[in-house]
Amino acid sequence: LVKMHTYYMYSLAAFTEVFYRGIDKVTAANDAAAPPVAAVEPGSDESDDDSQGGGTVPGMTDEELSKRVVQLIDSISITTFEYIRRGLFERDKLTVATMLTLQVCINDGKLSPEEVDFLCASKIATDPGNIGPLQEWMPESVWPKVKALEGLKKFQSLGDTMQSESDDWSVWFDNPEPEKAKLPGDYEKSLSTFERLIILRAMRPDRCTSALASWIRDLMGKHFVEQQPFDMAESYLETSPQTPTFFVLFPGVDPTLLVEGLGKEKGMTSEAGSFRNISMGQGQEKLAEAVVEQFGMKGGWVMLQNCHLMESWVSKLERLLEVVQEGAHEDFRCFISAEPPPMASMKNMPESLLQSCMKVANEAPADIKSNLVRAWANYNQEVIDTCTKPTEFKTCLFSLCWFHSVMLGRKRFGQQGWSRQYSFNTGDLNICANVLKAYIDMFGLVPWDDLRYIFGEIMYGGHITDPFDRRTANTYLSVLFHDGLFSELELAPKFKSPNPDGMMFDSYIEHIEKSLPPESPPQLGLHPNAEIGYLTNGTINLFVAIMNISGGGGGDSEGGGGNVVHSTMTDLTERLPENFVMVIINERAKPLLEKLELSPFVVVAKQECGYMNVLLTEMRRSLVELDKGLKGQLNMSDTMEDLALAFTINEWPGRNPFSKCSWQKLSWPSMKTLAFQFMDMLRRGEELEK
């Protein structure tokens, strides 16, 4: 998992503890359900002595033993996954669940590594042939993937079937939710759920994550897809004086409030001298060390915030905790918070500290409904009643919470939402709410123009640097903040602001649950197709992460990444064209250079041939080098490993900025996959040859 993010580090001791916890859950459940057992008479045949061996468990039949083994596997799997998931970023949770499910299916013989490779790598046929009538509705990039699927037994005639049943496949392809629609022809009955996933991966990758979640839920259980809201009290039960809690900081989420709230329940408060909250920065090191030592001996909770700002000191904290934890008081707890580094491969915390901590990544929800409920939950009926005009205030406050949710919701659509990543947070919402209440109390009326300016240009606008993004935010405010708000204004398609008469604070939560339609891009003012790019990127990132971790496919090395690398290397080597013979080209170019109207084109063509030769030479050299490395004739260098990884994930080598391969540097800018860019290179060579 550390290949996904440097924060995903776990020690063997932590895994062992979680493993035993899973066993204890089964034992406790069985003990609670079992009837009282009568005492065994001395000398009886039903003795607990198992010294003779024999491979059976005393007091258990084979059927009971099999049942217990199944219970243990389920309990250990769920307990381990939930422990890991608590520390995963939201974007990685489905990835880890998918990887675990694929590995379980391979181990049980339900899936072959070849099938898993087709799902993860989304292979492309090198010579797909004529697309025929399918070109009317099928994108050109999909056809080679469809033809590649014919390498699997169930899809041997898929391309021909699609061409003969083009209209039916067109209807399925255009369905907004093809994972729920029936497949054309005999495929509906003959294909398994996993094989349907393979077709979705090739033709509609934007719907693959939704289908994956359903597949995992059916196969492994809802625990692996549906996560309960974070419970600080429940997580506390898994901590100890020897296990610090590490909070990953995200915009809009403050774990300090959770720790302080639980501390009050446990009697650990700053008033009692048993809780200290230290925001780390220059000059706070000595204080933090003294508090850790003091509470380690006498008991108490210490919260060390923003430790990412003190990278040089955190190593000292790590050593201090090792010393303190040896004889620590049973009431000692250490809570640490830090922001993740800008890139997943960067490090800002010591490995051993991350391994020993229980990690919590309580990320703010991404969907608009959760954001709206979370925003509204910052207030209560008492706050509303303190305003001189409670009706106007609660109506405007609800609209403000909706505006806040939209501002956050657009972030997950990348540059279609905002051109940059802005750190809108709960603090912006609270300040705007305070300004709203103060202005209503002061003027008695709602000063719309003033509020729109303060919200759009100062509070939220203070984060925004792009003029078009600022215009977007101000447009939302012009639609959401005016006199029509008191007349059940439509905040979004099919979602209106409720009539404020008789509405209490909790009534707004009920209104959200009953009236807010399922999330869609138009709710955020985006085109319906905006979600396609977002979901497609999510699918690509998910499978790239799986292949990065497992070396190709979701399973082990058998039939996995090693075969993908070797087959790709062999295919590219066989199809790689010869270099241009520049002597012959120069001879052919001489008479053409004498013609003024052709000379610029001839010069450019010669230069392009030279550039192509440099690329072809490097590709041929690195492929030969990798072949020798795989055979054991050379030591595998970093460059060779980067090349093999690129082949595994179907990426043009060198595109990763940290890669040491030079293919990307020597070629042209492109975001195409390895297969498509290689085909592009061949076509460029053919054009230059002409």
Task: Tell me what pLDDT residue 551 has.
Answer: 63
Together in a domain, 348 and 423: no
Together in a domain, 372 and 434: yes
Asked if 346 and 501 touch (Cβ cutoff 8 Å), the reply is no
Identify the CATH number of the domain in which residue 252 sits. 3.40.50.300
Task: Tell me what pLDDT residue 370 has.
Answer: 82
Residue 540 domain-assigned (yes or no): no
Residue 340 domain-assigned (yes or no): yes
Domain coverage including residue 332: 232-360
pLDDT tens-digit map of 72-81: 988 899 889 9
Q: Under DSSP, is residue 10 helix (H, G, I), strand (E, B) or coil?
A: coil
Q: Which residue has the higher pLDDT, 651 or 36?
A: 651
Together in a domain, 384 and 487: yes
Domain final residue, candidates 360, 377, 406: 360
Together in a domain, 473 and 438: yes
Residue 130 domain-assigned (yes or no): no
- Min mean pLDDT across 169-183, 564-578, 591-605 is at 591-605
Domain final residue, candidates 333, 360, 387: 360
**pLDDT surpassing 70 at residue 538:** yes
- Cα–Cα distance list, 333 to 9, 12, 315, 474 (Å): 21, 22, 19, 46
Together in a domain, 497 and 579: no
Together in a domain, 320 and 427: no
Task: Tell me what pLDDT residue 123 has.
Answer: 81
Asked if 292 and 263 touch (Cβ cutoff 8 Å), the reply is no
pLDDT tens-digit map of 340-390: 998 888 888 989 889 989 999 988 767 888 889 888 988 889 999 999 998
Q: Minimal CA–CA distance to 6: which of 364, 342, 421, 253?
A: 342
Together in a domain, 496 and 603: no
Cβ neighbours of 440 (radius 10 Å) = 21
Average confidence score pLDDT of the chain: 86
Residue 40 domain-assigned (yes or no): no
Residue 523 domain-assigned (yes or no): no
pLDDT band at 312 (very low <50, low <70, confident <90, very high): confident
- Cα–Cα distance list, 332 to 296, 356, 406, 469 (Å): 6, 15, 42, 48
Task: Tell me what pLDDT residue 199 has.
Answer: 94
Together in a domain, 635 and 674: yes
* Overall average pLDDT of the 269-282 stretch: 89
Question: How many domains does the chain contain in total?
Answer: 3
Long-range pairs for 633-638 at CB < 8 Å and ≥24 separation?
none
Long-range pairs for 517-522 at CB < 8 Å and ≥24 separation?
517/493, 519/367, 519/368, 519/369, 519/409, 520/493, 521/413, 522/492, 522/493
pLDDT band at 53 (very low <50, low <70, confident <90, very high): very low
Residue 574 domain-assigned (yes or no): yes
pLDDT band at 521 (very low <50, low <70, confident <90, very high): confident
Residue 222 domain-assigned (yes or no): no
* Overall average pLDDT of the 35-48 stretch: 46
Asked if 469 and 447 touch (Cβ cutoff 8 Å), the reply is no
pLDDT tens-digit map of 123-136: 888 778 888 888 89
pLDDT band at 32 (very low <50, low <70, confident <90, very high): low
pLDDT tens-digit map of 410-434: 988 878 888 988 888 888 999 999 9
**pLDDT surpassing 80 at residue 42:** no
**pLDDT surpassing 60 at residue 687:** yes
Task: Tell me what pLDDT residue 46 has.
Answer: 43
* Overall average pLDDT of the 227-237 stretch: 83
Q: Which two tokens stand for residue 118?
A: 């087709």
Together in a domain, 351 and 386: no
Identify the CATH number of the domain in which residue 511 sits. 1.10.8.720
pLDDT band at 54 (very low <50, low <70, confident <90, very high): very low
Domain final residue, candidates 465, 489, 518: 518
Residue 579 domain-assigned (yes or no): yes
Task: Tell me what pLDDT residue 336 has.
Answer: 93
Burial class (CB in 10 A: 0-12, 13-18, 19+), 584: exposed
Task: Tell me what pLDDT residue 544 has.
Answer: 85
**pLDDT surpassing 60 at residue 57:** no
Together in a domain, 510 and 593: no
Task: Tell me what pLDDT residue 192 has.
Answer: 92
Task: Tell me what pLDDT residue 302 has.
Answer: 93
Task: Tell me what pLDDT residue 452 has.
Answer: 93
Together in a domain, 513 and 630: no
**pLDDT surpassing 90 at residue 171:** yes
Together in a domain, 376 and 508: yes
Q: Minimal CA–CA distance to 337: which of 363, 308, 358?
A: 308
Highest mean pLDDT pick, 30-39, 57-66, 119-128, 458-467: 458-467
- Min mean pLDDT across 54-63, 109-118, 166-175 is at 54-63
Task: Tell me what pLDDT residue 325 has.
Answer: 87
- Min mean pLDDT across 62-66, 177-181, 203-207, 579-583 is at 62-66
Long-range pairs for 623-628 at CB < 8 Å and ≥24 separation?
623/569, 623/572, 623/573, 623/576, 624/573, 626/565, 626/569, 627/569, 627/573
**pLDDT surpassing 90 at residue 460:** yes
Distance CA 466, CA 567 (A): 47
